[in-house]
Amino acid sequence: MKFNKLLSGLVGICLFFGFTSCVEDKRIFGDDIEIPELTDDNTVQFTVEVASDWKQIEVIAGGGRMAIEWGDGRLQKIEDPGTTGPINYKYGNKKIYQVRIWAEELDFLSISGLLLPATNLRMGYLPGIRSLNLNSFSGTTELDLSGCCPNVEDVNIGNWSDLERLDITQCKQLERADIYTNPRLTSLNILNLPKLKDLNCAGNGLTTLSLKGTPALRTLYCNNNPLTAIDLEEDMAISGLFIQNCAFSSLDFLDRLPVLSEFSCRSNKLTTLDLSNHRSIRFLDCSFNRNLNHLSIPANNLVQILRCHSCNLKANTLNEIFDALVSLPKPSTPEHGKDYRISFYDNSGEKGCDMSILESKNWYIDTNKN
């Protein structure tokens, strides 16, 4: 009898520990790889709040092994995230979870809080990261990429409700930066980034911007900022400049952009715009500058699309613009006839200008209000 009781006890103990072992095994899933201890230095950390019926978060990565501690007691190991596609994880209960991602070996990482609110981002030292996409975070006022991702080449930082300071000054390999729709970001230091080619800083709270020390810059999007000034070096190679819906009353800096070919200054506070020396201009949109009464473009120029509607241009000014446009052969098809087009409606001189000049030059008059 005693032997049977002892045997039953041993079996019970074995079953208990076996069951416990199985539970622990389920907490670690994915690929069979060895990973180091997760620390503040080698991880990306943030908080997600599951407060609705949507309980799924997505992470995209590549370049090396990774591991994700989802905050609910489960750890996922991924040997090659670049071949598995997006990593989706669905939580069970509505609560707050602290997520940690081991990212030491990654060269690409994308995290978004668009569908599942993400807050309080903290990043370790990740020198291997080359491409970084962090979108729709809140509760984080500062992000120091100089300290955590010094070798990053491409960054996308958008839709942060609380971001006030972003440091990329030591990211000397940076070639493309999309830093947009961060309403509390009122300044952006991009000085001395020698490889930066494309900068999109639209939809922030910037009032001034200096581009000194960025000799490789080719395209600049600054739309939807309260910008009044841009500080440039002499003879920069920027070919595309977009400053729509800003607060510019003058554009003296344009003289430092000799190869400008695409330019939009739509919806600013301009009264005059002189582009007579910019012979590379192909696309120009200066519409919705309600007080703009003077516009000069180079004669025999390369302009293909000109939008100067909704301004205050008089008839003689419009005629001067028409005279400066290049004469075209008769288009072979109606669609080709729209390749070179101009819109000038809602100007004070619209009714009195000589549209026959445009007709004789085979330009398409765009009356589609937009």
Confidence of residue 17 (pLDDT cuts 50, 70, 90): very low
Whole-number average pLDDT of the chain = 92
Instruction: Note the pLDDT tens digit of each residue in 309-335.
Output: 999 999 999 999 999 999 999 988 887
Residue 26 is predicted with a pLDDT of 65
Percentage of residues in the chain with pLDDT exceeding 70? 93
Q: Using CA atoms, how far apart are residues 317 and 271, in angstroms rounded to an integer?
A: 13
Name the token pair of 291. 């007080």
Does residue 112 surpass a pLDDT of 60? yes
Residue 18 is predicted with a pLDDT of 44
Q: 301 or 133: whose pLDDT is higher?
A: 133
Does residue 196 surpass a pLDDT of 90? yes
CA angle 76, 90, 39 (to 5 degrees): 35
Residue 234 is predicted with a pLDDT of 94
Least reliable range by pLDDT among 21-30, 91-100, 165-174, 282-291: 21-30
The amino acid at residue 230 is I
Terminal CA-CA length for the chain: 93
Q: Mean pLDDT, to the nearest integer, of 271-288?
A: 97
Instruction: Note the pLDDT tens digit of each residue in 201-241.
Output: 999 999 999 999 999 999 999 999 999 999 999 999 999 99
Domains of the chain: 27-104 (no CATH), 105-365 (3.80.10.10)
Percentage of residues in the chain with pLDDT exceeding 90? 85
Does residue 287 surpass a pLDDT of 60? yes
Confidence of residue 303 (pLDDT cuts 50, 70, 90): very high
Q: Mean pLDDT, to the nearest integer, of 148-156?
A: 97
Confidence of residue 61 (pLDDT cuts 50, 70, 90): very high
Does residue 23 surpass a pLDDT of 90? no
What phi and psi, each to the nearest 5 degrees, are found at residue 337?
A: -65, -15
Residue 335 is predicted with a pLDDT of 79
Does residue 8 surpass a pLDDT of 70? no
